[in-house]
Each structure stands twice: as structure tokens, then as C-alpha cells.
Structure 1
């Protein structure tokens, strides 16, 4: 079957750019005019690209769409996706390719500064995304401004859609439409803190989601579904197979592992275990470059299930 007429297991839309990684001794960084740090590095990635690359490394048929610039950073993105064998189609944005600066401490913890360069009127033409939507089993939308305008077409085609709200506190308006119009919602417990369970219930109650997953770093993750009772199921974190170098992209890797399991017909808790293994593996190399394969994921997932 030609690539032009291929069916995709996963279509990821939005959320790529280049991270500038600055390694510091500790967070927060003390206020000073100058701080000496180690080598400053650039890593193409961001949430959508990381999910696409992770899912492709696991053997899924993946396509990725985004708006990027015709610039040096955009070229880095293209090279990274091509190296990961991800089919990528870009709409050129005059605002350029998104960037972020990530401060990473010695324990791999991070603080990220994302730019907001996309103009409010940025849109992806329907003739770019509709042909791929029609060939996709599942769509994952990053919470980039232009992707919210794809929901009507996704719903009309009856395609399941997921999103990652990251550290949403339940209040910021930008995230709400994504939360309420997606079938599967991921979020980080860091944003809502002790209110995470209440926020998960609210998403199920007010939106169309069947399942909400909250990741909590070393505390593992929590899975709540419409037919699984009122209390989230806890899935322990997986111990990384090597020292933690960088937590950038761990949540995206979790999403990739979870979607891999879901698209393979696994149960929700098994999907969460696979996500935990993929997320832990991602922490063992810089710049979201530690991509686990299905051959590595499956034995570790079975071992975790047995434990």
C-alpha cells in the first residue's frame, strides 16, 4: 500500500518546536546577574512530536501535522521527525517555529518556559488535515490554539480523539474545550494538586470523555473511567532502568505507551502500566531521545503487571 493511501493508527496534530536545555545545579535558580552552567543544548521535540516519535518507535503507523516556520528551528524539527520515520506535513507559519527554554536540575527535574509566538488567527487548512483524518484510527490533539478548530470535523467523522492538558489547574479557559471535547484526556496532577480527583470527575461529568488519566511523576498515575467506579485506580510508577538524566518528555512517552496499549485492545490498567514503563525509560537520556520499542516495552510491562 502506498504511503499516500496508507491507514494511520495514530494522527498527531500540533505541538512541535525546539527546546533549549540549560542544566543547573538546583531549582529554583538563585537570582544573580550571571550563572555558570554546563553546555547549553538544543533538542527538537515538544509534546506532539514526542508523542508521534514515541508511538512510531513502538511500531504504530503514525502521521504528524503542525504549523512551523521556514527557519532553522523548523529544519531541526523536520530532521528529527524524519530520523524517527514519522510522516510529517507542515503548514508554514509566518510566526516561525515554536521554542522553549527548559531549566533542568541534577535530579532531572525541570522548569519550562514556552513562547507564545503563534498568532491568534493561525489556522490549518482543511485540505491539509481532512484527507489524513479520514485515514486515521485515532487522533491526538496537542493543546495548541489552532487545533481546537478541528474538533467539529473530527466529531463528524466519528474518530476517537485524545488530548494532554499537562498541568491544567481546572481554571484556565484555554484548556477547557480540549478537556470537554476529547474522548480520552491526559493531565498532570501537578496542576490541580489535591483537587486532581475532583477535576477528573468533573471532566467525565461535563464532557464527552470516557477515560481520564492523571500522571503524578514518581507517585505513578491514576485512571478514572465512566464505568470503573468513582475512585481513580492507582498504577505505580516504574523504576527507570538507568539513572534519571532528564524528565523532559516523560509524560509524552507515557501517552505514547498508553495509546499503544489502547490501540492494541488492552485494558485501561494495562495501558497505564505500559505508559509507566515508557515514561520511565524516557527519563534515561536527554532531549526526549530515549524511545522505547515494543520489544522493550512488552516484557517490562508484563514484569510490572506481575509485581
Structure 2
């Protein structure tokens, strides 16, 4: 299978506890349930793209443990090409500790494990996988030098390069922006990267415009229940989204990114791909878990392919 979407990123096993509320500092709180769920931003986005019609390959690392085997098996069951997924000896797989409250808000601690072993040199050795792709997707749960290599190489190859700057903890290196075709942050990430508040459509537009001036070709700022803002050379366009009753928001952003990429890969224009991503994300938040919440293509009313 020749993948048209290649995801370079993280794989984690999510250890999910549900509780009435998030614990306060120093507090021991009685929870309601526990589940072990495959996750990680890279793997989530790969699953979303695969379920929504793209041919997908995953580039990443897992540990030589039970979680690593489960993560690989789960992706392969989705039809994702895992030939570029390495098993790292004497290393644990990535793990995310997640608490979800009754309002569907979450708090997450991520232990990178084998994700930290996805070096630029490992990816460089897999250059044929990048060359065969139409779209490359990257996030920030792998080493920054690896992200830089992917963005730069993808741009040099003329691929469509998508960066989901999550989880963002500091400003992006200035050189990165010129390599990015679609920068897809949420509100808090856009605020951190731009240094501007993001608390309204107007302020979101200002932050997105700042990120474009930094060099990103196009910005899609996801705004949760307020939809998304798309900013390019023609200005800003707001895409409202339908209201849903949220159960768990854990993988909503990943679902949007993967669905948007799948839409582009299937020939949708940008507006269609954004709406496609919004429908997928809206459905995902009505379900619990990361990958289990991601919808399949037959569950969406898809636009006609041009």
C-alpha cells in the first residue's frame, strides 16, 4: 500500500480515570472508572485519517513491552502501514495518565518513553516513506529536532506539511514557519505561540494573522464549540460548528487534524476538508476515550468528492 498520508509522531497507551471533578493539589480523590485505551497524538491522527478514507502510514517508536505490542496491533487493525514503526529495546512505550471529570474536561500527564527515541536520524533513514506521501502530519510529542527535520524535508519534497503544535510549551523556532503549509493550533496553543490573547473571534483572527506573518502559509485555529477560523492570503473565514453534548474531549483536536488531512487526500477543497474535520470532531466528543471515539467514514454525511 502506498500511503497518501504519513503521520510522524507519538503513540501512547492512555490510562484513563473518570472522576466527578479533577483533583486539587495534594488531594486524593475517589474515581468512578478506569480504562486502558490506545492513544498518543500521532497515533490518534493516523487512526482518524485512516477511518475517514485516507491511506495512512505511521512513523514512530514503541517500547518492547505489552503496551507497544498492543499499540502496533491496534494500528494494523485499522489498515495503517506500520512498517516504519520501530520497537525500541529496553524502553517503555509512551504512556498518558488522563483524568476526565463529569463536565468532560481533562487533565493529562504524558510520559514519552519510546517516543523520545524517534530521532531525526531514524526518520532520515525512512526518507522513502516521506517521498511517497502526499501529506505529512507532525505534532510536538516527539523530539523537536525530529519535528524540524520532518517539516524541512517535507517542504523540500513539495509535500503538504501539516503541523499540529500540541502540546505547545514554548514558542516555535522561527525557521519552522516557512516549512508549514497548515498550522493547526487550538486557542491556548495559538495564544502561547503568538503571545496574544485568544478569547474571541477577533482576537483569534489577530493571533492567526500573527502566525501567518511569522511564515506559516495557512492557519486553522480550532475554537472548540465556537468552530474554527481559517486564515490565508484572502483573509479570515469563520466555520461555525453544530452544538453537541460532550462526553469526553480527549481526542477531538486529533480527530479534526486527521479528518482534515483525509479530506485533502480525497480531493476536497479546504472549506470542505475543514467542515469534514468539524463533523468528525463533533461526533468524537460524544464518546469516551481517544481512539475509540474517532468515527468511521460511514458515520458521517460526507460532501461530494470533486
TM over 0.5: yes
Residue 131 of structure 1 corresponds to which residue in structure 2?
128
State the partner residue of 2:4: 9
Unaligned runs of 5+ in 2: 192-197
Residues 163 and 178, structure 1, Cα contact 8 Å, conserved in 2: no
Q: Closer, same or farther in 2 for the Cα pair 1:119/1:138, shift >3 Å?
A: closer
The corresponding residue for 2:195 is none
Cα distance, 1:254 vs structure 2: 0.8
Moved over 6 A (4+): none
5 Å-filtered alignment, 1:1-307, equals: 3=1, 7-27=2-22, 29-31=23-25, 33-88=27-82, 89-93=84-88, 94-117=90-113, 119=116, 122-126=119-123, 128-143=125-140, 144-145=142-143, 146-166=146-166, 168=168, 172-173=170-171, 178-191=176-189, 192=191, 193-194=198-199, 196-207=204-215, 209-226=216-233, 228-229=234-235, 232-240=236-244, 243-288=245-290, 289-299=292-302
Partner Cα separation in structure 1 for residue 209 and residue 87 of structure 2: 39
Runs of 5+ consecutive residues of structure 1 not aligned to the other structure: 303-307
Q: Distance in 2 between matches of 1:81 and 1:246?
A: 22
TM-score, with length taken from structure 2: 0.84
* TM-score normalised by L of structure 1: 0.84
**Equivalent position SS for 1:158:** coil
Q: 1:91 to 1:33 in 2, by over 3 A?
A: same
What secondary structure, in the 3-state scheme, does the structure 1 residue paired with 2:295 have?
A: coil
User: CA-atom RMSD, angstroms?
Assistant: 2.4
